[in-house]
Structure 1
Amino acid sequence: MKRSGDSEGEKRRKRQRLLQELGDQKIPFLGPPDQGYQQLWDASYSGLALRRSCSVPPELHGRVQAGLLTLRRKGCLLRDLVRIRERDVFTVVSRTLLGEPGHTYRYLDTRLFAIPWHSEDPDVKGQNCCDPDLRAACKALWELNTFFCSDVSQLKEGDRLTQSAKGEAKQGEEGDTGSKHSDDSKNSEGGDSESHKSEEGDTESKHSEEWDVESKHSEEGCSGSKQEGEWESESKHSSEEGESSQVKPSETGVSAGSEHNEGKLPGWAPKAISGTQTIPAGLGAKGKPVAKMKHSLSDHHIEDGEEPASGQGSSQSSPPPVCTGPVKFNVTLLNYMDPAAMSQLKEEPYYGMGKMAVGWHHDENLISHTPVAVYSYSCHNDKGESSEGGSGEKACWRIGLKVAWDIHTPGLTLPLESGDCYYMRDDLNSTHQHCVLAGETARFSSTHRVAECSSGTLTYIQSRCHEALSNLRTDLETGSHSLLALLPTTLQHCEEIHNEVEFEWLRQYWFQGQRFARFCSWWTRPMEQLEKDWKLMETMTMLFLNILELEKGEVQEGEGRREMAETLLSALTDRHQQRQTWRDRCHSSLAQTLPPEEAPVDRPFWGVDDPSMPLPFDLADIINRVESLLWRM
């Protein structure tokens, strides 16, 4: 949904005030070894809960980790070619979707089609859509999903850490990974607050899902043909808009870089707890002053969250709506990340937390206030050798969290051992943002979520096809077709479904090439049936056009006929433009770099002389005919 001009203007002014207030400073953050860490977690990140690896059943670890390695070995984890600001880019991470049969998950103009859990015996279901190894891998992830559904429902208010004594001992050992503030970035770009403001006004705001846009662009191979300075200039234009937070009226006049503000940030001070010393809000780990911030906020990608009604973005700010019934995660988005294969990982720019594998974001397209559960598995190589034991000196993966729209509350980092799980509960995902900070070993993550699938299941789109085709009469003897109702509203409804089937399902599916069918055939027959239904809708559009072009007949002259013509013209124009966009995407330079089995397929597509198709692929001439018809009315 597009924001109004007034709303955008107010947000821009708010960002400018915050940039002035922040000046050249970095925002503090705390890791496990820092004083005040637990108080900060309880006060501002209470929706976060951690389950240590040692408290998860060992047999479940074994099946899940073997399943993840199987999925990678079979080629199921692939980089997605997604759409951001009318540009195609590859995701940095490789991923795939598992979930309830017939479910999809949509992000960045890309629809992922879930490989089913395979939670039931295939002989009972009468479906044998993949080989036994892949079926066992999917079932292992379903078992993990079942564990998460039960476990997250049992967590009580205030539960923060679920671990054994072994896990408690290890937390102290992980202290060194709790990341201190970095020194001035060697790659930073200078600029005063005035330049921040001018660049801020030129950027556009758009949420993206789970990675850093600039990192993606730099990994696309584009930088190989550019000088470094040229690439940095281009990446500025493609970067997301700088983040802002709410500012109290008394704080808006704080000038950037003033002596009074040097090395300090006004804001959060944890409550004193007996036996625990608090740290000043303006000091980082070990009480060091906040490092200078040379990076321009508007030069770095960090997604904006919606402004919380409470003004603080805390997960404790107001009681969130309670979801009725037990939690049921319906999909998991699997990710694989290998730092050795990730070129030019960016430094986290606001807190100095370290290298980011996934940029700041909210998980999107979820049922409001439902939890997210994540399983983290680190390994040395494709054989699945664990990162534990001899790799103790290697830097571990971490999660970074921050309150959205807030430069005063310190950030939080959470180190993850292989097999650790964490939950984002209540409204944490909507009021906060999180990022993934790269370790030194390869990592899988299984992110279980309650996806908003009201218009994203096979059952849904099949019912939509039934609605449209119920207006088509077929003569059983001759096989000829005719339309039952000619009301403009009915015809408009049918044409909207026609476009939805073609562009939200058929072209989305085939744009991802043959990669689904080559390791799981579950979607093959449903998509074939959708294409047959879509072809009948092409026939309905042809009948619609024929009726309009009759000099006299079923449609009365006047406003009714004009309304029908305008309805058809709007649907055809949209269809023509979208077909050209998808055709361009399928033949783009990035698409051509993919191997044949992964390359996008421009389907449905047919030539001008194809006798099986009622209308041409290129609708320019048809559009001209309808426009001419309207002109004569």
Structure 2
Amino acid sequence: MITMMKRKRGRGENEKDAKKQKLLNELGQSQLPYLTPKDDGFHQLWKTKYSKLVLRNAERIPHDVHREVQEAFGLLQKHACLFQDLVRIKGKDFVTPVSRILIGNPGYTYKYLNTRLFTVPWPVEGYEINYSHPEISKACEALIKLNEHLRRETVLALQEQNLSETKGTEDSVVTEKLQEEAAPVTESGCASPDQSAVHVPKNDCADLKERTSYNLTLLNYMDPQRMPFLKQEPYFGMGKMAVSWHHDENLVERSTVAVYSSCREDDMNMTHQHCVLAGHQPRFSSTHRVAECSQGTLPYILGRCNAALENLHGDAALGCLALKSLDIGTIKGVEEIHNETSHLLCELRKEGQVEEQRKERIECLLPLLEERHELRQEWFVRCHSLLALSLPEEEKPRCHPYWQMGDPHLPLPFNLEDIIIELRKILEGQTKYARPQLTPASLE
């Protein structure tokens, strides 16, 4: 199941689109030149413009890890665990040509193209995880082994780069020696100082850990023979694309991305875009990421719900729940947490309030309700689009929570338009605007 989170297009994104279109107009029928490893100047360009891109040969991956990961890909495909996602690009819905599954820390999520994915958890100490089939458990276990290997490789790569920059040299002999002799990385994210030739200052340890602590992997499967409607790469004429030019989203700033047997420092993600060419053969990829999950985990959501409930207390006189505080900071914080509540509206409808305070509270609440209304309507439209309805039943997005008008068990209607109009009219001084009175109810 997939759910959507709103991501407004900023001025920067619109400017990028305008620049892309300008470039395409200037190119016309011509194409930009590009280099491959066979061309003169390729490695010099890599060294000067893509120095944060680090490649490692597959032979560096332990044989048992490599074998188990290859088997894991087959098992996930066997059990139909990979799905095409319904995504939104520039206001239009698309089904991705690439099939995906997100595997990672329990309760973690990853958001891209207005779509939020939830992890199938890999085995983590302290969590009891029940898989629908033992082979899926086996696949997840293989991927967390790969994740740990790539984390160690990434730390080593960053240490080598730091050493090279510190000495002001790129001595290949030293680099090779470091690759051979580097000690295993400790859980703190830094090599043990008495075992490794690479010494990392203490204040760099936390930075290394933050940038390399992969908490999930987005697995992709593509079969070019089953993707007939792919776009051609527009700038260089490199053939069909499985994934168009883009920046990766929802990552911790300056964190690394490891793609199966390679490490890619994500400073590049800020300054460079990348695409995935379709090629000719079916293939998998496992892209390990440090997803920005400060607000995207189940424990966070539960914690915020508890914080909202702390502003409630039972009113014995009224025989119902009431709010402890109408402070502006509390209103804003609670309404950002709530999916729904009618208690605040009941307070704002009461007569005899200090008008200035009432106005201030409505001005705080109104934009939050407007945003909530916009998100609901957009998601409702997506769930009922022809594209969404054409998906298999188990892959359709769910319009949830959703309820009909007049449901007595829920505090507010699904459509918030009337409430928004009422609050606007109160601000305009039309406090006698008629509408059905809502009775305080328990939180959803």
CA contact (8 A) 2:105 2:124 kept: no
Match of 1:611 in 2: 408
Aligned-partner SS, 1:597? helix
| Aligned-residue offset at 1:568 | 3.5
Change (3 A) 1:9 1:51: closer
78, 94, 98: which is aligned to 1:89?
94
CA offsets 1:316-336 (integer angstroms, 9 cap, x no match):
xxxxx9971332111111101
Quick check: 1:30 aligned with 2:35? yes
Match of 1:72 in 2: 77
Gaps of 5+ in 2: 1-7, 162-169, 177-203, 432-444
State the one-letter code of the partner of 1:333. Answer: L
CA offsets 1:511-543 (integer angstroms, 9 cap, x no match):
xxxxxxxxxxxxxxxxxxxxxxxxxxx3xx322
- The more displaced of 582-591 and 342-351 is 342-351
Aligned-partner SS, 2:214? coil
**Alpha-carbon distance in 1 for matches of 2:46, 2:421:** 63
Aligned-partner SS, 1:448? strand
Q: What are the equivalent positions in structure 2 for 1:322-337 lying under 5 Å apart?
A: 324-326=207-209, 327-337=212-222
CA contact (8 A) 2:155 2:208 kept: no
Q: What are the equivalent positions in structure 2 for 1:250-269 lying under 5 Å apart?
A: none
Match of 1:181 in 2: none
State the one-letter code of the partner of 1:367. Answer: V
| Aligned-residue offset at 1:446 | 0.3
Q: What are the equivalent positions in structure 2 for 1:267-416 lying under 5 Å apart?
A: 324-326=207-209, 327-375=212-260
Please tell me the root mean square deviation across aligned C-alpha atoms, in Å. 3.2
Quick check: 1:589 aligned with 2:386? yes
Aligned-partner SS, 1:92? strand
State the one-letter code of the partner of 1:632. Answer: Q
CA contact (8 A) 2:112 2:250 kept: yes
CA offsets 1:390-410 (integer angstroms, 9 cap, x no match):
xxxxxxxxxxxxxxxxxxxxx
CA offsets 1:118-152 (integer angstroms, 9 cap, x no match):
144xxx64442543211111111000000001111
CA offsets 1:271-319 (integer angstroms, 9 cap, x no match):
xxxxxxxxxxxxxxxxxxxxxxxxxxxxxxxxxxxxxxxxxxxxxxxxx
| Aligned-residue offset at 1:52 | 2.1
Quick check: 1:473 aligned with 2:313? yes
State the one-letter code of the partner of 1:581. Answer: E
CA contact (8 A) 1:471 1:483 kept: yes
- The more displaced of 8-17 and 138-147 is 8-17
Match of 1:60 in 2: 65
Q: What are the equivalent positions in structure 2 for 1:162-561 lying under 5 Å apart?
A: 324-326=207-209, 327-375=212-260, 421-425=261-265, 427-474=267-314, 480-498=320-338, 502=339, 538=340, 541-552=341-352, 556-561=353-358
**Alpha-carbon distance in 1 for matches of 2:20, 2:75:** 49
Aligned length: 382
The structure with higher relative contact order (CA 8 Å, sep 6+) is 1
State the one-letter code of the partner of 1:29. Answer: Y
Change (3 A) 1:371 1:605: same
Aligned-partner SS, 2:154? helix
CA contact (8 A) 2:243 2:275 kept: yes
Aligned-partner SS, 2:84? coil
| Aligned-residue offset at 1:159 | 9.5
CA contact (8 A) 1:483 1:543 kept: yes
CA contact (8 A) 2:224 2:282 kept: yes
TM-score by length of 1: 0.55
CA offsets 1:534-561 (integer angstroms, 9 cap, x no match):
xxxx3xx322122222224xxx322001
**Alpha-carbon distance in 2 for matches of 1:339, 1:596:** 25
| Aligned-residue offset at 1:606 | 1.8
Match of 2:359 in 1: 562
**Alpha-carbon distance in 2 for matches of 1:601, 1:9:** 33
Gaps of 5+ in 1: 165-320, 376-420, 503-537
Aligned-partner SS, 1:453? coil
